Each structure stands twice: as structure tokens, then as C-alpha cells.
Amino acid sequence: MAEKLLVLLAGQSNMSGRGYLTPEDVAEIPGLTAIRRDFQWIPAVDPFNYDRLNMLGLADAKDPFEVKGLVMNGAKRAGVGPGRTFGKYMRRHFPDHEVGLIPASIGGTPIAAWLPGGKDPYSDAYPYDDCLKLAREAMKSGRIAAVLWHQGETDAANRTPDYKEKLKAVVSNFRNDLGLADVPFILGELGSFLDPAWPVAEYNRMIREVSMELPRMGWVKTADLTDRGDKLHFSAESQHELGRRYWEEFLRLSNS
């Protein structure tokens, strides 16, 4: 088997995944794995990013990595993001390579938490610093071939000043700290279903501008995608489509 191809998944809850699980999401895909936060590789079966257990219907799980199924304690379980779909397409496109996902996103994190030393407002995590540790461990098994980023809901709600410059700094830091100068780095727009009081259009404009002003970057549109019913998180179906769009943008960047 050729070198393992790694995909770094970073940002907040819509990258972690809050879409409700379907049978497709809990079926193993041979050759597609994800690295746990204890550095163990497991099959990339959703949910594999355990950032906020209560948001996944896993709050009472003793070992959430071992819990399978679509329902827990009578409630639907969540955890569908775009990463697994992207990984599925990458695995098909590069059949001689295993594909490893690096799930580092944390729900609710503002852009400041993704700068060096930045802290998660809701836990003891340091998202960027912790992400570097996880990525460096994963890179012992292969090379990062793509970075997928989805973040900005918290900053849109808070009207964070200088968001565009902070996002540029995040991209630059990832490239410098992990040696990803030539790796496709793809941003996702915020959902059109978010609170209409939030300046979503402005933040999506900044996301697109960053992708056009920095090299080896792309972006994916989300205006026609739908939420899971909470006006905050993409549905499972929309997450599957979002993953496909990240993949199409990866192909475009790879062939340019």
C-alpha cells in the first residue's frame, strides 16, 4: 500500500458534524480511518470527532469511541460532518492509498481560539495547539494532502472585528507550522439558514476573499444547503453534499 493520505478537518461544529446519523454514516469504509485524540487510529465511522459529547447524544457513554448505532437512550445521535464523505471520494480516487482523517474541530470556537495559544471558551482545550499535536502524530503515518476548514458562526454572531485578517493568519500558521505550503486549503461558507440578525453575507464574502487572495486555496458554496432543524447545523444530507463539494474543489486545485 502506498503512502497514507491525510485530511485535516478544522473549525467548529459544522466541521465536527451535527447532522443526524444515517445507516450510510455508520458503515465502515475499508482503508478510511480517523485518528482519536489519544492518537489511536479507528475506522472513520461517524461520529469520530468527539468535541462535545452532549451535542452527539453521547453524554452518558463511558467510551464514546466504542458506541455504535443511530439512536442512544431513545434519542437520535448526531455527528455527520463533511469529512467522511470527502475521505470516501479520496479513497476511491486513490485506491492504492489508505486515507486518514484528522478530526480537530471543536464546536463553538471563535477564530481567536485557532490562533497560537488560543483557548476554547467552554473547556480546557487549546484548539490550535492541540490540533498541531494531533496532526504531527498523524503525520508519522503519512502526509497531509488537504485541509478542510469550516468556521465562523460564532464570530458572525459576535461580529468579531478583523475576522478576515485573523482567518488569513490561521491559514498562514497552519502552512508554516505543519509545512503545508503547497497543500490545498479549502474554506466552507456559512449556512444561509443562520440567524438573519447575523452578518452572514459579510462573513461569507470575507471567506471567499481570503480563498482568492492566498495561494492554493478554494472555497465551497452553501447557500442552497439546509439545516437539521435547529437553524444552526447542516443536515446529514447537506453534509454529504458539502463533503462532495469540498472534494470537487480539491480536484480543481489539484489540477490547476
pLDDT higher than 90, residue 228: yes
pLDDT higher than 80, residue 43: yes
Identify which of 57, 157, 167 has the alpha carbon closest to the alpha carbon of residue 111: 167
pLDDT confidence band for 34 (50 / 70 / 90) = very high
Residue 67 has what pLDDT?
84
pLDDT higher than 90, residue 58: no
| Ramachandran bin of 159, using left for φ above 0, alpha for ψ from -120 to 50, beta for the remaining angles | left
pLDDT confidence band for 1 (50 / 70 / 90) = low
CB under 8 A, 24+ apart: contacts of 244-248:
244/85, 244/86, 244/89, 245/220, 245/221, 246/82, 246/86, 246/148, 246/186, 246/188, 246/220, 247/85, 247/86, 247/89, 247/90, 248/220
Domain carrying residue 138: 2-255
| Ramachandran bin of 44, using left for φ above 0, alpha for ψ from -120 to 50, beta for the remaining angles | beta
- Whether 146 and 184 have beta carbons less than 8 Å apart is answered as yes
187: β partners: 149, 219
Residue 61 has what pLDDT?
80
Residue 205 has what pLDDT?
98
As for how many domains the chain has, the answer is 1
CA pair distance 256, 249, nearest whole angstrom: 11
Residue 57 has what pLDDT?
86
pLDDT higher than 90, residue 256: no
- Whether 239 and 87 have beta carbons less than 8 Å apart is answered as no
The overall pTM is greater than 0.95: yes
CATH number of the domain encompassing residue 57:
3.40.50.1110
Mean pLDDT is lowest, of 138-142, 190-194, 252-256, for: 252-256
